[in-house]
């Protein structure tokens, strides 16, 4: 399971999206006839069902009320950040503009200043209610320290899912200064599903799954605007992380009869990466930077990490992603660019069809190969001209 990296020290070889490829199936399927709906279990109720297995990441540069409504209408679900600008400012428009226009050398200090404004609980209910008026699903994300206190509020306001999200989350946390969040109590007291994250290894994922959560987020530091891997040196490439957490899902299913949904969160730049995430074992994906580049996103062509506001150790940065198309074009097409960032749903359908997978569970059994040359083999002219896979 590992290679020697020094005397008495081994390390596993792990893989990201650029290092693997999918093997076509011996039988192919009409892409229009594959089934990739996403179902998140709910207690004593029908599952939360989405037509497409794609969630929008709870980032302030992506999700506001308008974006969440459009995402829901197109068949997916947006997750609103309860610790972000949308719940700190009654009208965050000018704040978002200030972030977009700030000079590069001042952005981290500005973000830390803007996020010092307190979260206003009244705005939490107002934002959820505004999305629900459009009769679409919406998820909300909170830090673990606020999860128990906010759970009743978000459920009463009509949220369809509570995401408890931290840089790294475990079922067991040691602290002498504050009380640990109990996922068992949180799940038992809520009728809406709880999704926990982020996680990248088998044992931790299995312990979290056994607490009663409905879904688990996979990924530490792979996001385009996240610098956790550079600042802390912590993380596991997404293909390996997804595969390990998916293995925990199967163990949990055998032991408890419950199938916890695995959601790969971050690191996907193009549609091919999304297909690889599903083939590695994901039941859904959470996307941030691709959506930040839509005309519907809140950030005006900019994107920044969720951990950026940390006053002591920022672990995110602002990046410019531009505005390259509408959310509808990115999700459903037609694609107007050749780099794999538009018509994500159509690309997923085609990948499943080529690999002979009628359902996502079939797709999770697709043969994978280690392919370090997959991104550049035969792509000399694309790279030289910065088109297609050379962008």
Helix (H, G, I), strand (E, B) or coil at 140: strand
CA gap 26, 193 in Å, rounded: 38
What is the separation, in whole angstroms, between the first and last Cα of the chain? Answer: 35
**Where are the alpha helices (H) located in the chain, listed in sequence order?**
65-73, 93-101, 107-114, 121-132, 144-157, 183-188, 202-209, 228-231, 238-256, 271-279, 289-292, 327-332, 344-354, 360-363, 380-385
C-alpha angle 230/231/237, rounded to 5°?
Answer: 40
Query: Catalytic annotation on 226?
Result: yes
Phi/psi for 22 (5° steps) reads -95, 140
In angstroms, the CA 344 to CA 290 distance is 10
Q: Specify whether the CB–CB gap between 65 and 71 falls below 8 A.
A: no
Query: To the nearest 10°, the Cα dihedral for 183, 258, 200, 81?
Result: -50
Q: Would you give the DSSP letter of residue 119?
A: P
Taken as a whole, the chain contains a residue count of 391
CA distances from 386 to 9, 301, 381, 390 (A): 42, 21, 8, 5
Count CB-CB contacts under 10 A for residue 203: 11
Catalytic residue among 199, 226, 252, 355: 226
User: CB burial class (10 A; 0-12, 13-18, 19+) of residue 10?
Assistant: exposed
Cβ-contact 339, 389 below 8 angstroms: yes
Q: Which residues are catalytic?
A: 226
């Amino acid at each position: 399971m590992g290679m020697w990296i020094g005397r008495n020290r081994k390390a596993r070889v792990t893989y990201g999206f650029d290092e693997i490829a999918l093997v076509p199936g011996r039988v192919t399927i009409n892409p229009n006839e594959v089934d990739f709906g996403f179902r998140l279990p709910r207690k004593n109720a029908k599952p939360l069902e989405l037509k497409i297995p794609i969630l929008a990441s709870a980032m302030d540069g992506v999700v506001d009320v308008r974006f969440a409504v459009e995402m829901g209408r197109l068949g997916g679900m947006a997750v609103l950040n309860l610790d972000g600008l949308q719940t700190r400012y009654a009208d965050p428009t000018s704040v978002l503009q200030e972030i977009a226009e700030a000079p590069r050398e001042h952005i981290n200090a500005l973000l830390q200043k803007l996020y010092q404004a307190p979260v206003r609980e009244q705005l939490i209910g107002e934002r959820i209610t505004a999305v629900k008026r459009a009769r679409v699903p919406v998820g909300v994300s909170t830090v673990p320290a606020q999860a128990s206190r906010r759970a009743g509020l978000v459920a009463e306001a009509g949220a369809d899912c509570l995401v408890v999200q931290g840089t790294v989350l475990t079922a067991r946390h040691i602290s002498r200064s504050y009380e640990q969040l109990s996922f068992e109590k949180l799940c038992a007291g809520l009728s809406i599903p709880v999704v926990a994250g982020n996680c990248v290894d088998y044992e931790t994922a299995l312990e979290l799954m056994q607490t009663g959560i409905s879904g688990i987020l996979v990924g530490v530091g792979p996001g385009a605007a996240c610098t956790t891997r550079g600042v802390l040196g912590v993380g596991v490439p997404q293909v390996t992380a997804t595969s390990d957490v998916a293995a925990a899902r199967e163990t949990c299913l055998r032991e408890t009869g419950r199938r916890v949904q695995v959601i790969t969160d971050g690191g996907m730049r193009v549609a091919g990466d999304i297909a690889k995430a599903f083939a590695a074992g994901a039941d859904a994906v959470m996307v941030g930077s691709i959506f930040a580049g839509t005309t519907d996103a809140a950030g005006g062509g900019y994107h920044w990490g969720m951990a950026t506001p940390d006053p002591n150790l920022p672990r995110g940065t602002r990046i410019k992603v531009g505005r390259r198309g509408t959310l509808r074009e990115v999700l459903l097409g037609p694609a107007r660019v050749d780099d794999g960032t538009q018509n994500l749903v159509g690309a997923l359908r085609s990948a499943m069809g080529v690999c002979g997978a009628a359902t996502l569970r079939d797709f999770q059994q697709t043969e994978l190969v280690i392919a370090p040359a997959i991104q550049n083999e035969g792509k000399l002219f694309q790279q030289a001209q910065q088109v297609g896979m050379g962008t």
